[in-house]
Amino acid sequence: MRYCSDALLFLLNFSPVSDFYRSILRPVLFSGLNADPEWLHVQTLRSLSWLNSAQWMQSQVDHLYGYESPKLAQSLWGLTFPNPIGLAAGFDKDGVAANVWSSFGFGFAELGTVTFHAQPGNSQPRLFRLTEDLAALNRMGFNNQGAASLRSRLEHRKSGIPIGINLGKSKITPLESAAEDYLGSFRLLKSLGDYFVVNVSSPNTPGLRSLQATDQLEPILSALQTENQSEKPLLVKIAPDLEWEDISAIVDLAQRYQLSGIIATNTTIRRDGLKTQTVRGNPITEEAGGISGAPVRVRSTEVIRSIWKQTGGTLPIIGVGGVFSADDAWEKITAGASLVQVYTGWVYEGPTMVKRILQGLEERLERSEFSSFKDAIGSDHFNPAE
């Protein structure tokens, strides 16, 4: 624990200069003796877990990385989001830093993916950086301590930014019992999350993506909404690799079951266009897992734009995939995303990234003719000349 706190203090003391992280600290972390990406991720979470209970330190983090802008705030699903930039699922699977994310500037955070049964995930190594592509390859396999453990941790959560909970299917649960598995987690956590996400799009649990087929997704949504009784916002997270007709079918299903929104998108299993050709000496085409980061940016924005067009902007979208800058976030917002999530970009750009994105969004909003942030959402679909 001493290592974790020392590492965190070092990060806090020097990283306010954004170039320091990218030009000096990141190369050291990425190429040092203990540069295994998952090991570094675990150490970061341990530090953040310590910070989670250190109120005096959180005020320092707030000072360095926080950014308040009433212009970027919005109300959605009866929740107040102080800004549209959130932490994507996968970073804090077990909610060990649930009280911390607002201090780093995030307007909301999504925990998980959590499964009903605790599980170790896939065999290691299972997380790789593709630095030439500003990307990551992961095949984690929903490693987490289970829904009951997350429940006990969130019972002590302090009020703050909205917290979403991303639900996945336990690996040991047969596909035909998926609805009961999701329902078990939802029942345990329903009172503790501000919104919930049905994750049927990870490529790292055998057969999971088949649950995106509407005939398999429908019983899951039916079971959850019957239990939910419209108390909590319920969303579904989809893959970027779906065909357009499959995306359209999921959108229709989401509307039929009165879901609160769609998250677009998860990681991709495509390998075309990558600069990185080998991982661990093997062709990247032979390495299983999903790719996140810059290679997903264009496709995820295309999916956002398609969903917005199909629904006329009536179904809120959380956009995720390849967001590194204010330009990337603005691109997704104007395509139709009400909220935007980051993960891989935060790893590459460092803890000042959220603040820089928020400053950039505020500048773009001020330069535009929009009277509010909500006016910017989906604005690419309108042509003033027509």
Catalytic residue annotation:
202
Question: Cα(244)–Cα(290) distance, rounded to whole angstroms?
Answer: 20
Question: Cα(88)–Cα(344) distance, rounded to whole angstroms?
Answer: 9
Beta 195-199 vs 163-167: how paired, if at all? parallel
Is residue 165 within 8 Å of 110, Cβ to Cβ? yes
Question: Cα(113)–Cα(146) distance, rounded to whole angstroms?
Answer: 9
Cα–chain-centroid distance for residue 32? Answer: 27
Question: Cα(297)–Cα(290) distance, rounded to whole angstroms?
Answer: 14
* Plot region of 108 (φ>0 → left; ψ -120 to 50 → alpha; else → beta): beta
Is residue 216 within 8 Å of 235, Cβ to Cβ? no
- 152: Cβ contacts below 8 Å, ≥ 6 apart: none
- SS3 readout for 157-181: CCCCCCEEEEECCCCCCCHHHHHHH
